[in-house]
Amino acid sequence: MGRSQNGLECSMDNVSITGSESSISTSTGKETPRILCALTTAIERLVSRNEMCIDPVSTCRASGLYHSMRRPNISVSKYLRRIYRYTSCSPSCFVLGFVYIDQLVHKHPDFPIVWLNIHRLLLTSIMVATKFLDDLHHNNAFYAKVGGISVLELNNLELDFLFKLKFQLQVTPVTYEGYSTHLERELLLAEQQQIERTFSISFDCERDEESNGTPDTSKVYVKLLNPLLTTYQLWSSKCLGIELKR
């Protein structure tokens, strides 16, 4: 539990601000970019894999400032959407934040990415990316409100994050494009798995409807075709909503 400079309480657990949120302006009427879904998929896959093979005691020791006493109630997906909704940072900042987290892990192999530190890592990396990439951005006090931690804690996280990266924030267009492609593949893989599950469920339902146990394959194919066409249209129009910044 932390307290921001203006006295408003904020908590990482519920990521809500006690009192009125009128001081935080929101950007309404804009569509959430698909990069948030791609980043959520990649992060959740990474964290789930790490959770199975990392000792909790060593995790607490290694992650230090980023470590939470308990897992925040808010999901990674909702947390990223909250950051995007309130800060109005460019979608490219989420890609750059992911690059920074990956570089941090490569520079510090003993630093684990788990559920107890991923929220603070995302908030810090995206804020740093916004300051580096966007012409206009909010200050630390605003990001602390949005992220559900105190401004003092966020200041310490930012400083530690920069030193861990050795202040090397410049990313080449080739590197940026490579990470963007990786996130696209992660999302596409997740969508393909969802389509396969839909096909399996539809197939079983049609089989149950037929008295002789033979499914009506025409109905199955129609159910399978719709999500396939939707996926193709989305990816053919490059709907991730990110641009290569040079």
Q: Are residues 159 and 177 in the same domain?
A: no
Assess if residue 59 is contained within a domain. yes
Output the average pLDDT for the chain: 75
Distance, in Å, from the CA atom of 87 to the CA atom of 82, rounded to the nearest integer, reads 8
DSSP class of residue 19 equals: S
Cα distances (Å, whole numbers) of residue 36 to 79, 188, 240, 242: 10, 13, 9, 10
Q: Are residues 110 and 28 in the same domain?
A: yes
Q: Locate all alpha helices (DSSP H) within 88-172, ordered by sequence.
A: 92-107, 118-133, 140-147, 151-164
Report the C-alpha dihedral over residues 148, 151, 152, 154, rounded to 10 degrees. 70
Q: Are residues 17 and 136 in the same domain?
A: yes
Assess if residue 242 is contained within a domain. no
Look at the chain and report how many structural domains it folds into.
Answer: 2
Q: What is the pLDDT of residue 32?
A: 78
Residue 218: which H helix or E strand, with range? helix 217-236
Q: Are residues 52 and 155 in the same domain?
A: yes
Model confidence, pTM: 0.68
Lowest mean per-residue pLDDT among 111-115, 140-144, 227-231: 227-231
Q: Which amino acid is at 228?
A: L
Q: What is the mean pLDDT of residues 192-206?
A: 55
Q: Which domain holds residue 207?
A: 173-236
Q: What is the pLDDT of residue 237?
A: 45
Distance, in Å, from the CA atom of 113 to the CA atom of 193, rounded to the nearest integer, reads 24
For residue 126, pLDDT over 70 is answered with: yes
**Contacting residues for 237 by C-beta, under 8 A, at least 6 apart:** none
Q: Which amino acid is at 59?
A: T
Question: Is residue 51 a contact partner of residue 114, using CB atoms and an 8 Å limit?
Answer: yes
- The larger pLDDT score, comparing residue 47 to residue 198, is at 47
Tell me, letter by letter, the H, E, C secondary structure of 49-92: HHHCCCCHHHHHHHHHHHCCCCCCCCCHHHHHHHHHHHHCCCCH
Assess if residue 246 is contained within a domain. no
- Which of these, 189, 183, 191, lies nearest to 228 by C-alpha position? 191
Which stretch, 71-75, 113-117, 141-145, 211-215, has highest mean pLDDT? Answer: 141-145
Of 113, 138, 164, which residue sits at a domain end? 164
Q: What is the mean pLDDT of residues 174-186?
A: 91
**Contacting residues for 23 by C-beta, under 8 A, at least 6 apart:** 6, 145
Q: Which amino acid is at 203?
A: F
The band of 193, judged by pLDDT with boundaries at 50, 70 and 90, is low
Q: Are residues 141 and 228 in the same domain?
A: no
Of 134, 164, 194, which residue sits at a domain end? 164
Which tens digits make up the pLDDT trace of 4-23?
Answer: 333 333 455 555 432 333 34
Q: Are residues 90 and 70 in the same domain?
A: yes
Q: Backbone dihedral region of 29: left (phi > 0), alpha (psi from -120 to 50 degrees) or beta?
A: left
Domain holding 33: CATH number?
1.10.472.10
- The larger pLDDT score, comparing residue 212 to residue 127, is at 127
Of 112, 132, 164, which residue sits at a domain end? 164
